[in-house]
Amino acid sequence: MAKNTLSSRFRKLDIDEFDENKFVDDHDEAVDNQGPDGAEIDNLIRQGDMMTAFHIALRNPPVNTKNPAIKERALAIVLRVLTSFKSSDIEPAVKSLDRSGVDLLMKYIYRGFKKPSDNSSAILLQWHEKAFAVGGLGSIVRVLTARKTV
Protein backbone atom coordinates (compact mmCIF):
# COMPACT_ATOMS: atom_id res chain seq x y z
CA MET A 1 0.00 0.00 0.00
CA ALA A 2 2.76 2.43 0.88
CA LYS A 3 4.47 2.03 -2.50
CA ASN A 4 1.36 2.84 -4.53
CA THR A 5 0.42 5.96 -2.62
CA LEU A 6 3.88 7.50 -3.03
CA SER A 7 3.40 8.21 -6.69
CA SER A 8 1.38 11.32 -7.53
CA ARG A 9 1.55 10.88 -11.29
CA PHE A 10 -2.17 10.32 -11.37
CA ARG A 11 -2.65 13.95 -10.45
CA LYS A 12 -1.22 15.06 -13.77
CA LEU A 13 -3.84 13.07 -15.66
CA ASP A 14 -6.79 15.05 -16.97
CA ILE A 15 -9.65 12.69 -16.30
CA ASP A 16 -12.11 14.82 -18.28
CA GLU A 17 -10.32 13.98 -21.51
CA PHE A 18 -11.28 10.32 -21.13
CA ASP A 19 -14.92 10.94 -20.31
CA GLU A 20 -16.95 9.08 -22.92
CA ASN A 21 -19.65 11.75 -22.90
CA LYS A 22 -17.22 14.48 -23.74
CA PHE A 23 -18.24 16.54 -26.72
CA VAL A 24 -15.98 16.32 -29.73
CA ASP A 25 -16.57 18.35 -32.86
CA ASP A 26 -17.04 16.22 -35.97
CA HIS A 27 -14.10 16.49 -38.32
CA ASP A 28 -15.25 16.14 -41.87
CA GLU A 29 -12.09 16.22 -43.90
CA ALA A 30 -13.74 14.37 -46.74
CA VAL A 31 -15.32 17.19 -48.72
CA ASP A 32 -12.80 19.93 -49.22
CA ASN A 33 -14.38 22.95 -50.82
CA GLN A 34 -11.99 25.58 -51.94
CA GLY A 35 -14.35 28.50 -52.14
CA PRO A 36 -15.59 30.31 -55.22
CA ASP A 37 -13.37 31.04 -58.17
CA GLY A 38 -12.09 34.62 -58.07
CA ALA A 39 -11.20 35.08 -61.71
CA GLU A 40 -14.55 33.87 -62.96
CA ILE A 41 -16.37 36.19 -60.61
CA ASP A 42 -14.24 39.14 -61.69
CA ASN A 43 -15.19 38.51 -65.28
CA LEU A 44 -18.86 38.34 -64.50
CA ILE A 45 -18.76 41.52 -62.44
CA ARG A 46 -17.03 43.34 -65.25
CA GLN A 47 -19.67 42.14 -67.65
CA GLY A 48 -22.34 43.34 -65.26
CA ASP A 49 -23.95 39.94 -64.77
CA MET A 50 -24.50 40.25 -61.06
CA MET A 51 -26.95 37.40 -60.54
CA THR A 52 -24.67 34.73 -61.97
CA ALA A 53 -21.70 36.13 -60.07
CA PHE A 54 -23.80 36.03 -56.92
CA HIS A 55 -24.82 32.40 -57.42
CA ILE A 56 -21.30 31.30 -58.22
CA ALA A 57 -19.95 33.14 -55.19
CA LEU A 58 -22.29 31.18 -52.97
CA ARG A 59 -21.23 27.85 -54.36
CA ASN A 60 -18.49 25.72 -52.76
CA PRO A 61 -18.37 27.35 -49.37
CA PRO A 62 -15.17 26.47 -47.50
CA VAL A 63 -16.97 25.20 -44.42
CA ASN A 64 -14.86 22.13 -43.82
CA THR A 65 -11.35 23.51 -44.11
CA LYS A 66 -9.40 24.69 -41.10
CA ASN A 67 -7.18 26.87 -43.26
CA PRO A 68 -7.97 30.53 -42.51
CA ALA A 69 -6.43 31.73 -45.77
CA ILE A 70 -9.00 29.88 -47.83
CA LYS A 71 -11.81 31.25 -45.71
CA GLU A 72 -10.47 34.79 -45.98
CA ARG A 73 -10.23 34.50 -49.72
CA ALA A 74 -13.76 33.18 -50.05
CA LEU A 75 -15.06 35.93 -47.78
CA ALA A 76 -13.29 38.63 -49.77
CA ILE A 77 -14.78 37.37 -53.01
CA VAL A 78 -18.29 37.14 -51.64
CA LEU A 79 -18.05 40.59 -50.07
CA ARG A 80 -16.89 42.04 -53.37
CA VAL A 81 -19.94 40.61 -55.08
CA LEU A 82 -22.29 41.78 -52.33
CA THR A 83 -20.96 45.33 -52.31
CA SER A 84 -21.18 45.72 -56.07
CA PHE A 85 -24.91 45.04 -56.05
CA LYS A 86 -27.34 47.91 -56.50
CA SER A 87 -29.85 48.35 -53.67
CA SER A 88 -32.79 47.59 -55.91
CA ASP A 89 -31.27 44.31 -57.08
CA ILE A 90 -30.74 42.88 -53.62
CA GLU A 91 -34.28 41.67 -53.10
CA PRO A 92 -34.67 39.60 -56.28
CA ALA A 93 -31.23 38.11 -55.69
CA VAL A 94 -32.19 36.93 -52.21
CA LYS A 95 -35.53 35.61 -53.44
CA SER A 96 -33.76 33.46 -55.99
CA LEU A 97 -31.95 31.50 -53.30
CA ASP A 98 -33.15 28.34 -51.65
CA ARG A 99 -33.21 27.75 -47.89
CA SER A 100 -29.59 26.63 -47.53
CA GLY A 101 -28.51 29.45 -49.80
CA VAL A 102 -30.15 32.00 -47.53
CA ASP A 103 -28.44 30.43 -44.50
CA LEU A 104 -25.10 30.58 -46.26
CA LEU A 105 -25.71 34.19 -47.23
CA MET A 106 -26.46 35.05 -43.60
CA LYS A 107 -23.22 33.40 -42.52
CA TYR A 108 -21.25 35.50 -44.98
CA ILE A 109 -23.10 38.65 -43.90
CA TYR A 110 -22.22 38.13 -40.26
CA ARG A 111 -18.62 37.37 -41.14
CA GLY A 112 -18.55 40.54 -43.18
CA PHE A 113 -19.78 42.52 -40.18
CA LYS A 114 -16.74 41.43 -38.20
CA LYS A 115 -14.41 43.56 -40.31
CA PRO A 116 -16.25 46.74 -41.25
CA SER A 117 -14.55 48.76 -43.98
CA ASP A 118 -15.72 52.11 -45.43
CA ASN A 119 -19.18 51.49 -46.65
CA SER A 120 -19.41 47.73 -46.40
CA SER A 121 -21.53 47.78 -43.25
CA ALA A 122 -24.24 49.89 -44.81
CA ILE A 123 -24.61 47.49 -47.75
CA LEU A 124 -24.41 44.48 -45.47
CA LEU A 125 -27.17 45.92 -43.31
CA GLN A 126 -29.39 46.14 -46.37
CA TRP A 127 -28.53 42.57 -47.32
CA HIS A 128 -29.26 41.51 -43.75
CA GLU A 129 -32.66 43.14 -43.83
CA LYS A 130 -33.66 41.41 -47.06
CA ALA A 131 -32.20 38.05 -46.09
CA PHE A 132 -33.97 38.24 -42.73
CA ALA A 133 -37.26 38.94 -44.47
CA VAL A 134 -36.84 35.74 -46.49
CA GLY A 135 -35.10 33.51 -43.98
CA GLY A 136 -36.68 34.70 -40.76
CA LEU A 137 -35.31 34.14 -37.27
CA GLY A 138 -34.46 30.58 -38.22
CA SER A 139 -31.68 31.64 -40.54
CA ILE A 140 -30.09 33.72 -37.78
CA VAL A 141 -30.40 30.87 -35.29
CA ARG A 142 -28.72 28.55 -37.78
CA VAL A 143 -25.83 30.99 -38.05
CA LEU A 144 -25.48 31.12 -34.27
CA THR A 145 -25.60 27.38 -33.76
CA ALA A 146 -23.51 26.29 -36.75
CA ARG A 147 -20.47 24.32 -35.71
CA LYS A 148 -18.82 24.76 -39.08
CA THR A 149 -18.38 28.43 -39.87
CA VAL A 150 -17.91 29.63 -43.40
Partner 1 sequence: MPGILTATLRPYLNAVRATLQAALCLENFSSQVVERHNKPEVEVRSSKELLLQPVIISRNDKEKVLIEGSINSVRVSIAVKQADEIEKILCHKFMRFMMMRAENFFILRRKPVENWDLLFSHHQLPHGADVQAQAGGLRHPLHGGDRQGDQRDEVVCQRQGPYRRRGVPQKCKSSCMSFFSPRSFKFYLTSMFLTSAVLRKFPNIPYADHDRHHGF
Name the site residues for partner 1 (rule: CB under 8 A): 23, 25, 110, 113-114, 116-117, 121-122, 125-126, 128-129, 132, 137, 140-141, 143-146, 149
Burial class (CB in 10 A: 0-12, 13-18, 19+), 143: buried
Residue 92 or 116 having the CB closest to partner 1: 116
Task: Find the shortest distance in angstroms from Cβ 24 to partner 1.
Answer: 9
Residue 77 or 150 having the CB closest to partner 1: 150
Please, are residues 62 and 71 in contact by the beta-carbon 8 Å criterion? Answer: yes
Task: Find the shortest distance in angstroms from Cβ 20 to partner 1.
Answer: 14
Rounded Cα distance between 87 and 25, Å, is 39
Residue 32 or 129 having the CB closest to partner 1: 129
Contacts of 110 (CB under 8 A, 6+ apart): 143
Rounded Cα distance between 48 and 43, Å, is 9
Task: Find the shortest distance in angstroms from Cβ 49 to partner 1.
Answer: 27
Residue 41 or 102 having the CB closest to partner 1: 102
51 backbone dihedrals φ, ψ, rounded to 5°? -65, -45
Task: Find the shortest distance in angstroms from Cβ 127 to partner 1.
Answer: 10
